[in-house]
A and B are shown apart, each in its own frame.
Chain A
């Protein structure tokens, strides 16, 4: 009888260890996290507009008043510049790394002239960018990416049906491209 109690006790200790391993390890192995889903869109270096119905990767535009677009990117081959502008009552922008941690976020009230202009770069690329003449960068906000891979999300608000077109337009014009400084 005592050996059965021992076996159960060892089983419980094992269960606690397995619980910890599963919870800690899941973000590393999950194929359904937001970054894997963005990569599954097979659209790198451009914003992909989500639809109301979940797409093939399960990402969808949940809020009826917000139109959402995502862009998977990597700064390994050079800094990436995000830009967008247009007449929407509200827009917001966020950069996440490949573990889906927020790196940077902003909205139209914090943008210069209400236009989105952000450059994501590795710490080394940032020092190169800062050497450039100031007019090459304009009013761009520089964001440091410790992890070279990540994804960006742009949301545009359409509070009424009549704003639907400008929100769509805003996302269609949004760009997410590798930045090359003209010399």
Chain B
């Protein structure tokens, strides 16, 4: 028995140690959200393309949904650091959980491989609304109490709404919803005056003329919707972008992590991947590890400021 175990141990040690043979078994890609969502689609498209570059490698998506990604993020941190587990993460929730002390992980627990996609925040109203610009919105909010739908407390929408309130001095009647579908219905059905959401969620409805996106909370206009002015253009320095990146555990050997980074770069530059992403309203924004890491650190500091003022 002992002999068997030690042989087993040896074999395993060899597979872990020998990065030359990597990858030699199934790679898990952890998705911290449900099957069928946008993050899940990103993962599946990524794998589809990755197989092209790592011939013979086998991938499997493991969905770990729940608690605004927290369950999945925590799970990613608990995996064996052998390079056979990649994790997806999304911001600002990834850092917001650290700030609100719900998370047991920190940024330093991970080796950030890079950002894949981004989704700028937007301010959106029903097409029939008299609000056409952010100025109009401020005017209306000062005249009467208006309801703003945000996707749950602590989400990017919530943080954006809080930033907007802080800068303009208005105060919204915040309506937290469960998921963007509720926000969509609330705006389309005129149940609320305004919603803070993400571009991908409302782009089609905006183009169909059912709703009006009055601002993109970004410095530059979006390629997919050049008609929508940014918040900065309208003299409001309210910025919010959701990003979606990939990571592995910090303890993963450098040679292996380099291989993964290399794969990541190849995939995000692949024309086929880019085309499918574009159709799925996944706005690619490749940012390699170091650059993305410093973005995350900055985001964490900013989120901390909001949290200190109004904890959730």
**A associates with B:** no
Instruction: Spell out A's residues near B (CB within 8 Å).
Output: none
